[in-house]
Amino acid sequence: MMQFPNDFVWGTATSSIQIEGSPAGDGKGKNIWDAYSHNTDRIRENHNPDIACDHYNRYKEDIDIMKKIGVHAYRFSIDWSRVLPDGTGKVNQKGLQFYSDLIDSLLENKIEPYLTLYHWELPLALHQKGGWLNDEIVEWFGDYAALIARTFGGRVKNIFTFNEPQCFIGLGYLQGIHAPGYKCSVAETIRMSHNVLKAHGRAVQRIREAAPDVQIGFAPTCGMPYPATDKKEDIEAARQAMFEIPPDDNWTWNVSWWSDPVLLGHYPEEGLRRFHDILPDITSEDMKLISQPIDMYGQNIYNGWMVRMGDNGQPESVPRSIGYPVTATGWPITPECLYWGPRFLYERYHKPIYITENGISCNDVISLDGKVHDPGRIDFEKRYLTQLQKAIADGADIRGYFYWSLMDNFEWTEGYSQRFGLVYVDYATGERIPKDSAGWYHDVIARNEI
């Protein structure tokens, strides 16, 4: 068995749109997913998040389940339009009260809240004013961050600004798959990315002003390349591949364009060269704002791909064998990415790391015995956590791990077809059934070893 550090944070994660429901409850405004889910044919079987897991009404039950699992921490997001229905201006006190009650209940159960300000919940009213293309969004987001920090900063000690800008800009505005379903130009999405990063920096400033004790982080994602062998050249090839920027039609799916400005204070040279003719104005003040010091680096890691150094001295991906193991979403099962990803990230950014998401979708069903047996998830977790423990043992400063997700939920354009949860949700009745993996995770947390 392999031990994790004594103060290692074991958690689980969700996001507001995926679990809360009550899209108009108690004065909540609309966000872009409330709108998109009712005006697109891109969501499987026309599912929508109107009910989701009805967490807005059942949060105490869900916290009881977390308590039984024994998690130390719970990462969740605030629906911006639930607290600021128009994104700015008038505050919806009942919306704030929901999150206040949620936080109090977590603390009563000795579960540390880790809050994400933006898990894709752009208020529709701000979208209609240009959203991430409107430079004013930097202040809009800063004002929102300040409201949250002022209201919850005395109880919440950990705040991540953004979840996965790679996805909400790439899928939402470049490929047009996620809300708002736009296919913008590369130039427009580069400009949006600059506004997202400036908004991150502004939020850091406003949180520091309102709640100086809060630890602040950023939670991007990406695929994590890993070396085909332990040969130096293959490790170097994987390291290079880790920070490269893919072709234009998928350019946002990278680490460096998003994290180098936040943690190193500059965009990657490769990107500046490639996008030179379409860059927005980038000033030194912008870069100072973006690279406000933060305290922790979150990374959502699910999978990666094998890389070796090619004969031409360039990294090349190694094709997967036929029948390579995949999850219910068709994602490859690549535990090595939870060793090499955190290792490469820590080498580059030297910032304490939290795995803010990792998990697996399985075709879970309620068995004849009324239980949900999910040996595939337990096996996945054993493999990935073994690699994570090894990365820690080899020197990466990894502070915590959040299993995605606490419960089955609305998986964006996959609707409710994908079950990532430790807890099964019967959508017909709302019943929650902890899966075998919930008991297994409880024991891992209790022993703090894998």
Catalytic residues: 164, 357
To ligand GCO, the closest distance from the beta carbon of 411 in angstroms equals 5
| Cβ atoms of 24 and 81 closer than 8 Å | no
Q: Does 163 bind ligand GCO (CB under 6 A)?
A: yes
By CB under 6 A, what part of segment 221-280 binds ligand GCO? 221
Tell me the window of 144-152, 161-169, 384-392, 435-443 that interacts with ligand GCO (CB under 6 A): 161-169
| Cβ atoms of 403 and 359 closer than 8 Å | yes
Cβ neighbours of residue 182 under 8 Å, at least 6 residues apart? 172, 173, 176
Residue closer to ligand GCO (CB basis): 381 or 411 = 411
To ligand GCO, the closest distance from the beta carbon of 150 in angstroms equals 26
To ligand GCO, the closest distance from the beta carbon of 222 in angstroms equals 10
Q: Is 112 exposed, middle or buried (0-12, 13-18, 19+ CB in 10 A)?
A: middle
| Cβ atoms of 364 and 258 closer than 8 Å | no
Query: Alpha helices of 294-417 — where are they, by DSSP H?
Result: 337-349, 375-393
Cα separation, 316 vs 450, in Å, equals 33
Residue closer to ligand GCO (CB basis): 88 or 166 = 166
| Cβ atoms of 289 and 202 closer than 8 Å | yes
Q: Does 121 bind ligand GCO (CB under 6 A)?
A: no
Tell me the window of 3-11, 163-171, 192-200, 426-434 that interacts with ligand GCO (CB under 6 A): 163-171
CB under 8 A, 24+ apart: contacts of 414-417: 414/44, 414/329, 415/43, 415/44, 415/45, 415/46, 415/47, 416/47, 417/44, 417/45, 417/47
By CB under 6 A, what part of segment 164-193 binds ligand GCO? 164, 167
Residue closer to ligand GCO (CB basis): 420 or 424 = 420
What is the residue whose two structure tokens read 């103060």?
Answer: 7
One of 12, 161, 195, 300 touching ligand GCO (CB under 6 A): 300
| Vertex 74 angle, CA 125 and 428, to 5° | 70
Tell me the window of 61-69, 159-167, 282-290, 378-386 that interacts with ligand GCO (CB under 6 A): 159-167
**Token couple for 105:** 């209940």
By CB under 6 A, what part of segment 347-376 binds ligand GCO? 357
Q: Does 299 bind ligand GCO (CB under 6 A)?
A: no
Residue closer to ligand GCO (CB basis): 21 or 315 = 21
Residue closer to ligand GCO (CB basis): 99 or 410 = 410
Residues that bind ligand GCO (CB under 6 A): 15, 18, 163-164, 167, 221, 300, 357, 404, 411, 420
